Structure 1
Amino acid sequence: MSDPATQSSASVIATAVASDMATVATSASDSVTAAAERSSSAVSVTSAIVATAAHATAAGPAASSPRHAGAVVYFSSASENTARFVANCRLDELGIASYRIPLRPGDEPLAVHEPYVLIVPTYGGGVVSKAVPPQVKRFLNDPDNRTWIRGVIASGNTNFGDAYAAAGRIVSAKCKVPLLFTFELMGTPEDVRKTRDGLARFFAAAAPTDTVPDTSLA
Structure 2
Amino acid sequence: MKIVYISLTGQTRKFVQKLDMDLLELTPTNPFISINEPFVIVTPTYEKEATEILNDFLETANNKQYFKGIAGGGNLNFGQLFVFTAKDLAKEYDVPLIHTFEFQGNDEDVKKLKKAVNDLGKA
How far apart are the structure 1 equivalents of 2:95 and 2:120?
13
Task: Give the Å deviation of 1:98.
Answer: 1.8
Partner amino acid for 2:110? V
Identity %: 28
Partner SS state of residue 33, structure 2 = coil
Partner SS state of residue 89, structure 1 = coil
Select the structure of larger CA radius of gyration: 1
Q: Is 1:115 aligned to 2:45, yes or no?
A: no
TM-score for both structures, normalised by structure 2: 0.89
Q: Is 1:86 aligned to 2:16, yes or no?
A: yes
Task: Give the Å deviation of 1:131.
Answer: 7.7
Contact 1:155/1:182 (<8 A) preserved? yes
Task: Give the Å deviation of 1:202.
Answer: 2.3
Question: Could you say which residue in structure 2 is the equivalent of 1:149?
Answer: 67
Contact 1:154/1:167 (<8 A) preserved? yes
Task: Give the Å deviation of 1:163.
Answer: 0.6
Relative contact order, CA 8 A, sep 6+: which one is greater?
2
How far apart are the structure 2 equivalents of 1:148 and 1:170?
18
Partner SS state of residue 99, structure 2 = strand
How far apart are the structure 2 equivalents of 1:198 and 1:137?
22
How far apart are the structure 2 equivalents of 1:167 and 1:143?
22
The structure-2 alpha-carbon separation of the partners of 1:114 and 1:174, relative to structure 1 and needing over 3 Å to count, comes to same
Structure 2 alignment gaps of length 5 or more: none
Partner amino acid for 2:25? R
Partner SS state of residue 62, structure 2 = helix
Task: Give the Å deviation of 1:108.
Answer: 7.1
TM-score for both structures, normalised by structure 1: 0.52
Aligned pair count reads: 123
Structure having the higher strand fraction is 2
Q: Give the alignment's Cα RMSD to 1 decimal.
A: 1.8
